[in-house]
Amino acid sequence: MKQAETGKVYMVGAGPGDPDLLTVRAAALIRSADFLFHDDLVAPEILQLAHTDATVQNVGKRCGSKSITQEDINQLLIRNARLGHSVVRLKIGDPMLFGRAGEEMDALQTASIAFEVVPGITAGFAAASALQVSLTDRRLASKVIFLTGHRVGTDEPCWGTLPPDATLVIYMPGSDYARLAAQITESGFSPQTPCDIISNVATPQERRVCTRVDELAQIASLPAPCVILVGNALAAAQDTLP
């Protein structure tokens, strides 16, 4: 397996939590990198794969914490790569989905730093596997839409009208499920549409709640990280889950 190269930054997907779900490439890079800058939610078992001489630093900004800025993270990556170190930027799930990878890649390109992206299993796919449900079903769902429950600079997501034959995968849904339910119905989904809430997917702390959009407001919010699946393709799974 190829080891991490000096003077290079690797955007690595840590997957949803279970170390067994890391790609072989991701595991090799984590074990061989000189510096490991990770999201707050990366599982400790994955961080323990780093070699004993590596510098491992949490650069997460969970729940809006401003303890480290995005510009600070960009400069950490650039500075250590320029010093000739191998650098892994370890992101929960897949680095290219709601992980600010675009901003970091822009900074690396501007600084003429070589980088590589290593994909990971995103939480939406892990949640579908845990529920034993297909996100697409030619009888019920012809498309999948990945959404986030918030955007920078606004308290409300801007989804617009969404096709009701889609399965929605909602990341970072927040704790206001009543507001989220209203947004889903305003986007064109029936209040009776099945939905599943999955917290800490692919970890020993995993919790699931199967419900409907019109019942979301009565559900106590689950701890982050959390993903919510919405769509008619979920109905069969809800009928078979214990």
Beta strand 143-148 pairing with 194-199: unpaired
The Cα 5–Cα 55 span in angstroms is 16
Q: Which of 8, 11, 34, 39 does the annotation list as catalytic?
A: 39
As a whole number of angstroms, the distance between CA 234 and CA 141 comes to: 10
**DSSP code for 109:** H
Exactly one of 18, 40, 61, 176 is catalytic; name it.
61
Candidate list 18, 40, 137, 172, residue with the active-site label: 172
> Is 176 a residue of the active site?
no
Query: Which residue pairs, CB below 8 angstroms and at least 24 apart, start in 115-118?
Result: 115/8, 115/9, 115/10, 115/11, 116/8, 116/9, 116/10, 116/11, 117/10, 117/11, 118/10, 118/11, 118/12, 118/13, 118/23, 118/25, 118/26, 118/29
Cα separation values, 188 from 37, 84, 183, Å: 40, 52, 9
- Specify the amino acid at residue 216: L
Active-site residue, 39 included: yes
Q: Write the DSSP symbol of residue 1.
A: -
Closest CA to 235 of 211, 209, 215, 207: 211
Q: Is 172 a catalytic residue?
A: yes
For helices 70-82 and 101-110, angle between their N-to-C axes, nearest 10 degrees = 40
Which active-site residues does the annotation give? 39, 61, 172
